[in-house]
Amino acid sequence: MSVMQVAADRVESRLIEAEEVGQIFGGVSKRTIWRWADSGILPKGVRLGGKRFWPRSVIEAAMAKLEAAAV
């Protein structure tokens, strides 16, 4: 595995906060992301130090699923 592939894998698997998840979904608020997670639209995420985080790959998969359902 090349150094570039290792770096790409790390970026794909990193944890992101609600604010960044909101940006991925077109600029929705952190509160909306939390509501979506609480209602099952998005995965719950993991809590670390009082904050909720999601793996970027999980959010991208959720977005693809939602886009497919909208078609």
Side chain identity at 25, as an amino acid letter? F
- pTM beyond 0.85: no
Rounded CA separation 24/65 (Å): 14
Looking at residue 13, its pLDDT comes to: 63
Q: Which two tokens stand for residue 59?
A: 């959010």
pLDDT tens string 28-67: 999 999 999 999 999 999 999 999 999 999 999 999 998 8
Closest CA to 28 of 66, 2, 57: 66
Ranges of each domain in the chain:
3-70
Closest CA to 63 of 24, 27, 31, 32: 24
Annotation: CATH topology of 3-70: Multidrug-efflux Transporter Regulator; Chain: A; Domain 2 (1.10.1660)
Rounded CA separation 2/4 (Å): 5
Provide the pLDDT confidence category of residue 71 given band limits of 50, 70 and 90.
confident
